[in-house]
Structure 1
Amino acid sequence: MEPFSPEAPQSSTTSSSGSPTVSNDSPGTATTLSTLGVSATTDGRSSSQAAVPLSVPAACLACRGKHLKCDGLNPCSRCTSSNAECVYIASRRGYKGPRRNMASNPNKRHASSSPPYSGPTDSCPMMLGHTPVSIPPPPLPAFNPTIVLPEQSPISYTSTPALPHNIPIYRNPFAPTVMEPNAMALTTTTASGPPTTQPPAMSLPEKCFEAFYHYFHAGHPFVLPKEYLLRLLKEGSTPNLDVLMAAIRYVGSLYIEKAGPARATLLDEAVRLCYLPTTAKDGFLIQALLLIIVGYDGSCEQARARELLADCERLAIEIDLNKREFATMHGHGNPVLEESWRRTWWDLYVCDGMIAGVHRVTNFLLFDIAADVGLPCEEHQYLIGHIPSPMCMEDFDDQIFSGEDREFSSFTYRIAAARNLGRFMRMPNAMFPDSESVARVEALLTNWRIHLPDSKRDDLNKSCQLDEMMFQAHFITHACTIMLHQPLSQLDTSPVQAVTSCAPHRPVPSGDVFNEHTRHTITAACEISKMVTQAVPILSHTHFFTCVLTLSSIVHLSKWAIYFIEDEEDLRQYIRLNIGALDKLSKVWKAANTAWGQVKGTAQDIYRQKKAQQISPAFWVGFTQEQMITSINADEGIMSEFTSGMLTQVTRGHQ
């Protein structure tokens, strides 16, 4: 069905010469061609058979518009009897057709050879103040052009709600192309007034689809860009897209507060489709499983996530996703699809490393799997479809020695950071601070930092927008630094043993002085807290940032529990940043909500212990009165924050 034009539909009629003409009359005047022809013929026959009347110089507009005889009086007899306004104009003989941009006259029809409108005067749509004639609405399209979803979806409640039959809705094809598709207005024509503009009603699957690309896709950009995925869906010839769409809808529902019970149904449907015996084993299935794994992990379903991760890794190796030729063989000559397959392997690699690193239960299986997959391109190249020839990991490793000045994509530096994490996890346990294996891994981390190009040293791209791939690369490196040095530091972790949301408590004995491992640990924790200050929404980051913030908070709280520290106020600010970021992430991710409660509860316990220590006069030795007052005021402020936060947590638990 062609989209409805907001302009009047054009009706074709026949002129006196027999050639078709086009009338631009309003929709209210639309009449069938056969009806118009009969009217014209009848009028012509009656005029030829009637007696010739007394001629008058001119007819008034009312009589002329009705094709009735006028007696030429002013007012004429007909206008007198009908109480109508009688208006005369000059003769139109010799008229050559309608003039452009002619002034509007409420009593004059558009110039055309079309027969006149024969309806009653008070209902004629050519008159001012007329009542619009409603037009039956055309059938609604089978799908919304702005978002295509499989029509055979087995979830019945996700279908677009039916609209009332008496409300015709049309999509405006003339909306400016710069508008977002979902911002296109729907024109509703009613019998009581002019057209009104309403926002389009979106179904739950459409909302989930949009939320996926708005919030999640940038953090794990392996699924096809939105426009390219919609194109494949419209073609309808690609298998397993329904499986991928089910996983997309589930992940998107995590960001929709009112999804409610539908979220569990979407998850069950996505898992069911993935494990159907008829589901083909291909790259789209890998993508669907990976999305569900990330959703499971962020929703405190870590055991289920590990089960699916094992299946996903086994399947990826079985279909040779780790080989370079997979992208070419299954890309169907589409460079964007080929890039998507490369990104799917590498994102699975990175997620496997992050799950193993933060939870310390799995062992990063894919780190030991040989892979020669090409490296991903930059994000903006992927989104617009300008895919360069991919480079290899060997090119990245040899860049210093080959003498070639190359800058690799942010995704590549993210992969390199995850690979350093894998090397750390393969390191034997270091029993002593001067262990050679610790120095070797620290050299890897330092080399990663110092050889970053200038454009990759922060988390912003050249357009001063967030570079999520570099953001993740940096926090993976900081987290690896903490995990490497914290066991050898002198930061006693017994005060934070209750913080177990991401990984089991790791006891670290205290020491009399800070060694270099303590400095590395504290510095990395502070750098993670500083990442919260990026001028972007926290929810734009991957949920794995939750466990990195928790790891940073453990370091801060361990340091804060010390009897006296000089930079206590700065430390409190870092703790505030971490708690605030976890609070924001908890709006979507259950794992963040658990970590938020544990970190805040531990901070409150440490604060109470420090307040009890302040009762002793020995605590204030060396403090001036001003320092004492400042410290007490700061303590009251942070206590108020912790108390209100704990009350909020209790309230959430009862909801």
Structure 2
Amino acid sequence: MDHNITFSIEETTSITGTENDATNEEYLIGLYYRYIHPAHPFALPEDFYRRNTGLFPAHLRQAICFIASHHTTDRRPPCPKVDEIVEDASTPEDAFRVQSLILITLASYARFERDNGNSALTAAIAMAGKINLDSDNFGHGHAALFRESWRRTWWELYTITGLISLIGGTNVRLTQPLAMTLPYSCEIYGACQIAQAGTTEQIQERFYSVPTLEWSSFAYRVEAMRIMTTVLDGFNNSTTFDYDSMSASISSYLLSLPAAKCEGLDANGDVDEVMTCGLMIIHLAAICLNFPRSKLAQVGGFSTVCGTDRGRVASGREDSYSAASLRSARALTKLISTHTSLKTLSPCFACAVAFSAVVQLSQYTTVAPPKPPYLRENLQLQLSALQSLGEVWPIAHVVRSQLAQFLREVINKAPAKSIATSAPQSMNDQLMTEDQWLQDVMNEEMLFDGGGIPFFGMPFTE
């Protein structure tokens, strides 16, 4: 199957409606492909959909419209019911169902509706297992473009499950098939074309073999999640935990990236959202590995809705672990700086910012004035990013509020004596004298009511 139809964003918008026309289903699907699909490209390509608009089942269209509606200011459609998608006997048990459940999972976590997100994720995993979606044999006899979409759906589920295991504390992770085909180039897929792709086994052996394949950003994202999963599993199996091998895996991953993939940008200098997600995951893995062993973890338990408090691990090389944590935290911040707009950034990035911020805030509150300029600028960028993301995804507002609370707690616990060698001065005075922006963050109105429930002037549930 080789469709070569192109619709620019401008053309699509003119066909489907205006920005305020949130009741227009086709318009919302256009928003989905513009803002959600770039970071999570597992649904069939937009060009193919435009030629086959009746292809998606009703539940998938509803899920697409629901997640896309967060990019409008109008009242959004209700979230599709997870139970109805799973239990509808009239609907085939297929990959489309899994796709709907993945989108509901993403939207629910980004809306801070974790019970619904957990239900959707559990159902997606069960459905994928029931239909053997984690096999190259799935979809045998289907057109090649469909089979690529089904593979991408499995790998999206694999990645989302790992991320939610980190940020949601579910402790649920999927086992990577030993030799399943990985997604090929998103550009080729988006053009409705077919390309050769390698397997999980081949990408892990890329260090020892003659390069014959050009790995896609999606493939690198899957490999990053495999490493992340190894790190997370290590916390639960302390007897087999091998810090050096895990650290080497992270370093090898970064060093093996081709120049075109290192910055999360494509050949034209445009943002590659899938590779950005892959880099986000590998740097999160590095923070999870190093931060609990660093002296920065002693500043205080910074627990957010993103599971940033990973505990502490006694170590004898605290300075080196701190340095490694800071490198990864700064790298995550740099990924934000490549964006002129955050609208296409994955909803998962709000929690990545939280992990980066806990490292850099810990450093900020422990060093004597004058503070390193990069720390101040990075923290300001992160807070600005959370504010921007919060306009679309409520969880970013929650994280930003918790950063402010963390600052208050740390500064209130700080000793009255200055850590600098100059005249005694309270920690609060040191920080406030140097940075008014920090005072502004700490004085922001909390976004929680008395019961610890996020409040934004309207309920999260429909």
TM score, norm. by length of structure 1 = 0.61
Contact 1:553 1:578 in 2 (8 A): yes
Q: How many residues of Structure 1 are paired with residues of Structure 2 in the alignment? A: 444
Q: Which runs of 5+ in 1 are unaligned?
A: 1-175, 187-197, 624-628
Name the CA distance, whole Å, in 2 between partners of 1:401 and 1:515.
33
Letter in 2 for 1:232: N
Instruction: Give the drift of 1:225.
Output: 1.4
Provide the residue aligned with 1:449 in structure 2.
254
Please state if 1:362 is matched with 2:171: yes
Name the CA distance, whole Å, in 2 between partners of 1:199 and 1:431.
52
Change (3 A) 1:460 1:597: same
Please state if 1:320 is matched with 2:132: yes
Candidates 318, 325, 329, aligned match of 1:525: 329
Change (3 A) 1:605 1:467: same
CA offsets 1:522-558 (integer angstroms, 9 cap, x no match): 2211211222211331221111111111111111222
Candidates 271, 292, 304, aligned match of 2:104: 292
Instruction: Give the drift of 1:404.
Output: 2.9
SS at match of 1:382: helix
Change (3 A) 1:403 1:653: closer
Question: What is the 5 A alignment of 1:185-584?
Answer: 203-234=23-54, 241-259=57-75, 262-263=76-77, 265=78, 267-268=79-80, 272-329=84-141, 331=142, 333=143, 335-364=144-173, 366-367=174-175, 370=177, 372-427=179-234, 437-493=242-298, 495-497=300-302, 499-503=303-307, 505-508=309-312, 514-562=318-366, 564=368, 567-584=371-388
SS at match of 2:207: helix
Letter in 1 for 2:63: A
Structure 1 or 2: larger helix share?
Answer: 2
Please state if 1:638 is matched with 2:438: yes
Change (3 A) 1:574 1:253: same
Please state if 1:597 is matched with 2:401: yes
Work out which structure has the larger RCO, using CA pairs closer than 8 Å and 6 or more positions apart in sequence: 2
Change (3 A) 1:291 1:449: same
Letter in 2 for 1:389: Q
Change (3 A) 1:568 1:323: same
Change (3 A) 1:507 1:466: same
Instruction: Give the drift of 1:352.
Output: 1.0
Change (3 A) 1:431 1:489: farther
Name the CA distance, whole Å, in 2 between partners of 1:457 and 1:385.
26
SS at match of 1:549: helix
Contact 1:490 1:518 in 2 (8 A): yes
Contact 2:110 2:393 in 1 (8 A): yes
Name the CA distance, whole Å, in 2 between partners of 1:654 and 1:394.
50
Q: Which has the larger radius of gyration?
A: 1
Name the CA distance, whole Å, in 2 between partners of 1:319 and 1:233.
25
Provide the residue aligned with 1:21 in structure 2.
none
Q: Which runs of 5+ in 2 are unaligned?
A: 1-6, 424-428
Q: Percent identity?
A: 21
Q: Select between 487-496 and 441-450 the one with higher mean Cα deviation.
A: 487-496
SS at match of 2:53: helix
Name the CA distance, whole Å, in 2 between partners of 1:354 and 1:185.
34
Letter in 1 for 2:25: P
Name the CA distance, whole Å, in 2 between partners of 1:406 and 1:595.
40
Change (3 A) 1:494 1:303: farther
Cα RMSD (Å) of the superposition?
A: 3.4
Name the CA distance, whole Å, in 1 between partners of 2:305 and 2:110.
11
Name the CA distance, whole Å, in 2 between partners of 1:635 and 1:276.
57
Instruction: Give the drift of 1:303.
Output: 2.7
TM score, norm. by length of structure 2 = 0.85
SS at match of 1:419: helix
Letter in 2 for 1:242: A
Contact 1:491 1:510 in 2 (8 A): no
Letter in 2 for 1:638: L
